[in-house]
Amino acid sequence: MELVDSHAHIDFPQFADDREAMLDRARAAGVSALLAIGTGPGPEKLDSALPFADRYDWIYASIGIHPHEAKQATPQHLEELSILAKHPKVIAWGEIGLDYFYDHSPRDVQHRVFRDQMALARDAKLPIIIHCRDAWADCLALIDEVWRPTGIGGILHCFTGTVGEVRRGLDAGFMISFAGNSTYPKTQHIRDAAKEVPLDRILIETDSPFLAPQPYRGKRNEPAYIAEVARTLANVRNLLPEEFAATTAANFRSFFQLVRPPDSPASIS
Ligand code: NI
């Protein structure tokens, strides 16, 4: 089964003891590409995903300041992001957005830093990855106002919204990415939303080390477990897991206009 993990925090300290082995397990499970999210521990380390992208041809990187750390963002950080955005393997800006569940940064600051980063991502011509928790109305309004006119699109990551919200995201040009929480018994609403997404707009992710899928729930998550998300959503869509996984992998490559890495098992020469 060929799989792509569209969102993983492989730089996080939870992988300090076995990072290499974790990446080997991902490859053994069929992961042919992975987007390493570069929000890291916050703006003090904006290049946290880049060492992986530099070292592994199958790993790509994002950069950005998470809404949790918006209050730490300075103009210098934003300038540094614009420079990092030019790295050839930086393919997305994020995760950025709004989080009213934790409210780690004041909401007006979250709004400003979200807007500022959308403006920079537009200049860099990079798709954005949206983190939105308990803030869909404001998040979608800002996207409609600032991002939609760019026509660049992006990813609604770890989607947990309603069917109505998924439609608005699709209208704004976004891919919709589902994580391990789509496999939990009580999240039928997420699976219902997954039924509404056209097959060519769906992505899957682990959001490692968080949100381990059902069989591993409560444990540390890792990219190798992406197959569980593929199985659950394939079932929702009445497809074979292999078919669904291959479709989401192809969606990732076509959205980011990537060429298949040469060592990929399914590559054609
Ligand atoms: Ni994340």
Question: Domain holding 153: CATH number?
Answer: 3.20.20.140
Residue 259: band (very low, low, confident or very high) from pLDDT cuts 50, 70, 90: confident
The answer to whether residue 263 sits within a structural domain is no
Q: What is the pLDDT of residues 218-252, one digit of tens each?
A: 999 999 999 999 999 999 999 999 999 999 999 99
User: Ligand 1 is a single-atom ion; what residues have CB below 5 A from it?
Assistant: 207
CA of residue 203 to ligand 1 center, whole Å? 14
Confirm whether 228 is domain-assigned.
yes
Residue 36 lies in a domain: yes
* Domain region containing 67: 3-256
In a domain, residue 182? The reply is yes
Res. 263 pLDDT band, cuts 50 70 90: low
Residue 157 lies in a domain: yes
pLDDT at 268 over 60: no
Given a contact cutoff of 8 angstroms between Cβ atoms, the answer to whether 227 and 245 are in contact is: yes
In a domain, 239, yes or no: yes
Q: What is the pLDDT of residue 262?
A: 54
Rounded distance from Cα 66 to ligand 1 centre (Å): 9
In the chain, how many domains are there?
1
Residue 264 lies in a domain: no
- How far is the centre of ligand 1, averaged over its atoms, from the C-alpha of 268 (Å)? 32
Q: What is the pLDDT of residues 179-194, one digit of tens each?
A: 999 999 999 999 999 9
Report yes or no on 268 lying in a domain.
no
Determine how β-strand 59-63 pairs with β-strand 90-99. Answer: parallel
CA of 35 to the centre of ligand 1 (A): 11
Strands (E), the chain: 3-8, 31-36, 59-63, 90-99, 128-133, 154-156, 174-178, 202-204
